[in-house]
Amino acid sequence: MSADHPVLLPSGAEWGAEARLVGEALRTVQSAAAQRADETRFVLPLLRWQIAADWIGDCPGTDHGAGGLRILLLPEWALSAVWDCHRALVRARDGDEEAADLAGLLGLFLDAVHGLELADLVARLEHVLAVLTLDVPAARTLATHAALQQSDAPEAREALTEIFAVWREAGVAP
């Protein structure tokens, strides 16, 4: 049975732009894989790219909860798909021969549309993963207080301070 993982999302425009860009790139791979009907051409099956693109692409649009917090319940299977895509992108970035089509597709897309390289996409995905995998007690404390609409409680404020410190350390928050 799969567990849902409560994820606190930064509400900053910079993180949202990174998540949108990553989601768009993953959606590009998913679309190309669907057109070619080739489950191995882009390292992973089409469904893995689609799941990751859907979940990451939706992160910036997740509604604000109480006190401006954004909480996402991320299923374990969705996080697994995002990690699979990360591993495939790292292989493409590192020149793995089996990931050459993936590198070619994303290299063209990223350069033409965003002026970026594959290494930039991997770094941005790692920022997104830093948020999606944050599993410190403060995250659960803050998610619980937000769900109970107790965001002003002292424990919630302490937890928020700790979350921001972890995000800053990961390069996700200023």
What pLDDT was estimated at residue 40? Answer: 80
Q: What is the mean pLDDT of residues 4-31?
A: 85
Mean pLDDT value across residues 63-90: 82
Q: Which residue has the higher pLDDT, 96 or 13?
A: 96
Q: How far apart are CA 45 and CA 64, in angstroms?
A: 33
pTM assigned to the model = 0.84
Amino acid at 38: D
Residue carrying structure tokens 């909480």: 71
User: For residue 68, what pLDDT is reported?
Assistant: 52
| 3-class DSSP assignment, residue 80 | helix
* d(C-alpha 11, C-alpha 72), whole Å: 12
